[in-house]
Structure 1
Amino acid sequence: MSTAPPPTVTDLGDGRERRAFPVSTLASGDLLTVTTLVLHGDQPGPTVGISATIHGDEFEGVLILREVWRTLQRRELSGTIYLLPVANPLALGALSRNTPVDMLDLNRNFPGSPDGWLSEQLAWTISHAFLERLDYYVDIHAGGTFPWVDYCYVLNDEAFSRAFLSELLYRPAQMYAGTTAGVTTARGKPTCVVEIGGGYQDQALHTQNGVRGVR
């Protein structure tokens, strides 16, 4: 298969949609899905995607994207925004960095495989249902159980990274293999990876800064 299975689409009104993409059937018989939230702006423009919780112990991105989804209006937007608040539902449920079924790091297994380990199937679905649709991509991470110094990676578009308004920028000598950012940069899509929040403390300031960066 070269495309993701068709999603279950729910029209939420006012330019908003929820799209649930099937990934695999779990041992329990439950269907594992990944869900994107889509907001179409009033004016034409690029498609921007923002993901969070690829690592399940880094939940701060969910708080940021929840607030973005709650406050952003279509009249403010030129183009389309895709939000992937929970990229790894099983890992978030277990508050685990890795997918608990196979103990693989989802963000080392992109672009994935439709016939591989569960993490590889999840990566494959995200690659085809989400990443390939984007013109610009932001991936939100956090410190997990540890407090973290907020910073933003400079990858293939410095101006795009600076637009997040992080006080600290980081230029990695090389990227880890198998990441979402590796997929999008290889396709020439401007990509920004953000580290913000962590330590399971009050995240209000980090959420505020994250929403500011996204908007």
Structure 2
Amino acid sequence: MEMLPAGETRIWTTLDFNQDGKQHDWLRLPFSTDLSAYGVIPIPITCIKNGAGPTALLIAGNHGDEYEGQVALSKLARQVEPRDARGRILILPALNYPAVVAGRRLSPLDEGNLNRLFPGEANGTPTQMIAHYVSSVLLSMADIVIDLHSGGSSLYYLPCCLIRSGKTGAETARLIELMQVFGAPIGSVSDGTGGGGATTLSAIAQAFGVVALTTELGGGGGFSSTGEAIASQGIYRVLKHIGVLPNAETKSPPPVRLMQVAGRGAYTYAPIHGIFEPAVELGDSVEAGQSGGFLFPVEGLPRQPEEIRFAQSGLVACRRAPALAAPGDCLFKLVTDVGAN
């Protein structure tokens, strides 16, 4: 296990993590403004504990405009009672509370992307301080973390559960087992080269020896009841599987299609500023060189529309939601079956 981030957190709570029972409280993030000199940012947290056992850390609202996980964890915090548990469940349905309240991916306090700032800084920006608290306090208690994401305002996503490849074959096999128990239609295995790399919550959890599952459950800034149900059912199955909710009534998980992102060529980006007319939908299978649609230049005539073509074959796992795109915006992400050439 690597050394935890340096510095003592300034975030505090009256919640007693070692007390049996069910407690609702805030994490209090000090934040001073012109109108609130000694103010704090209130980040809701629930602790459900009953004796000895594993600790599950459940997080949503890492990005504020991703809603299925927030609702799933709010329901779970109300439904689960201490008598149901063996061990401890820590629930944070709105981890990046300022972003959640604003309905934004980034925090309005500092424009911080929480899932690109781990392990954080004890005396950094508000978002860095949240990342530091998770890294230095919450992960030190956890045996497993489930971080619930969706596509947010800019992407539509096929519901999926994601893992990072383990440091050993046995670790990867354990993660794949838990991903299959979770039961999202697609199980995506990453080598960590995409997205936020080593600065995501899943990456820092892995570095600290904590099992981590991540999801993508919907997107477009809306709410998917299907995605929320996948999250809720998946969490109950995983918590039952690891012994935290031993008597939970769950359905058997549906088949999970194991897939992977095959390098940076899986991503297709906008080359110009234009209006995006997609030619394929989520879940479509595409071939290398196939047209993914057109970008119509905002300048209008005489510039011609730009045709978008895929660099590789695969399944369309996510697609851009807003019609207007700027150079560098991600239009598509493809996944391929594990073991496929």
Q: Same fold (TM over 0.5)?
A: yes
Distance 1:117 1:14 in 2: 33
Select the structure with the greater relative contact order (CA < 8 A; seq sep ≥ 6).
1
Q: Give the counterpart letter for 1:8 in structure 2.
A: T
Q: Aligned-pair distance for 1:77?
A: 1.9
Per-residue Cα deviation, 1:47-102 (whole angstroms, up to 9, x for no partner):
00110011111122110001112222333322111101111111111111111121
Partner of 1:147: 156
1:169 aligns to what?
187
Aligned residues: 213
Q: Does 1:15 align with 2:21?
A: yes
How far the C-alpha of 1:165 sits from its partner, in A, is: 0.8
Amino acid at match of 2:230: N
Map 1:1-215; keep pairs closer than 5 Å: 1-3=7-9, 5-9=11-15, 15-27=21-33, 28-29=35-36, 30-41=39-50, 44-145=52-153, 146-155=155-164, 156=166, 157-174=175-192, 176-215=197-236
Distance 1:33 1:70, change over 3 A: closer
State the distance in 2 between where 1:23 and 1:167 align.
37
Q: 8 Å contact 1:34–1:126 — kept in the other structure?
A: no
Deviations 1:112-164 (A, max 9, x none): 11221221112112223322211111000011124320111122322222221
Structure 1 residues 163-192: Cα deviation after superposition (integer angstroms, max 9, x where no partner): 211110111131523111112101111111
CA distance 1:5–1:94, change in 2 (3 Å) = closer
Does the C-alpha gap of structure 1 residues 182 and 119 become closer, same or farther in structure 2, counting only changes over 3 Å? same
CA contact (8 A) 1:57 1:96 kept: yes
Q: Which deviates more, 48-57 or 112-121?
A: 112-121
Q: Which amino acid aligns with 1:181?
A: S
SS of the residue 2:199 aligns to: coil
8 A Cα contact 1:143 1:199, kept in partner? yes
Sequence identity percentage: 25
Any conservation in 2 of the 1:110–1:180 contact (CA below 8 Å)? yes
Greater mean deviation of Cα atoms: 193-202 or 78-87 = 193-202
Hey, what's the Cα distance between the residues in 2 that align with 1:106 and 1:85? 14
The one-letter code sitting in structure 1 at the alignment partner of 2:119 is P
Maintained 8 Å contact 2:192/2:198: no
In the aligned structure 2, how far is the partner of 1:189 from the partner of 1:160? 13
Q: Is the 8 A contact 2:31 2:41 kept in 1?
A: yes
C-alpha contact 1:53 1:62 (8 A) present in aligned 2:
yes
The two structures, once aligned, show a CA RMSD in angstroms of 2.2
- Give the SS at the match of 1:64: helix
* Cα deviation, residue 20, structure 1: 2.1
Q: 1:188 to 1:65 in 2, by over 3 A?
A: same
